[in-house]
Amino acid sequence: MHYKQITLPANKSIALVAHDNKKPDIVRWCENHTEDLKKHTLYATGTTGTVISQATGLEINKLISGPLGGDQQVGSLITEGKVDFLIFFWDPFEPMPHDPDVKALLRIAAVWNVPVACNIISADFMVASPLFNQEFQRSVPDYESYMKSRT
């Protein structure tokens, strides 16, 4: 795979997703970082977005609920370059009916070199990074050269 560099703007697009047992964690994390999050464009799967906006008043672009396809919508936004960071507090103790979608989302985030935080501590480190509010370079798959190599 060939990669190219893209420049992420200071204002990022951040996707917020949490399984039911992890919703209290993501709400607490958003409450602790409301001012940081206000500077960015936020997306969330349906129920996660609703509980976060109720608790914090943050403006969130809500997608479909995860089990109905929300994880896939986030994955699709990643491939379109519309999501720069993924905060995904997935539940390590419960199998989900949409486990294949969860796995697919985590895979596509790895493919597109998107930073992923899967718990409060990793999300805290992400926000604490000076890069959180700055432009920075990220390498992403070079789709044009990928297509050329296949045709």
Residue span 51-90 as binding mask against ligand 13P, x where in contact by CB under 6 A, dash where not: --------------xxx--xx-------------------
Catalytic residue among 20, 71, 84, 91: 71
Q: Is 91 a catalytic residue?
A: no
- The distance of closest approach from Cβ of residue 71 to ligand 13P in the complex, given in angstroms and rounded to an integer, is 5
Task: State in Å, rounded, how far the first CA of the chain is from the last one.
Answer: 15
17 binds ligand 13P (CB under 6 A): yes
Task: Residue 83: name the closest of 116, 128, 120, 107 by CA.
Answer: 116
Angle at 70 between CA 66 and CA 73, to 5 degrees: 155
Residue span 29-48 as binding mask against ligand 13P, x where in contact by CB under 6 A, dash where not: ----------------xxxx
Measured CA to CA, the distance from residue 138 to residue 55 in angstroms comes to: 32
3, containing H or E segment: strand 3-8
Binding interface with ligand 13P (CB under 6 A): 17, 19, 45-48, 65-67, 70-71, 98, 102
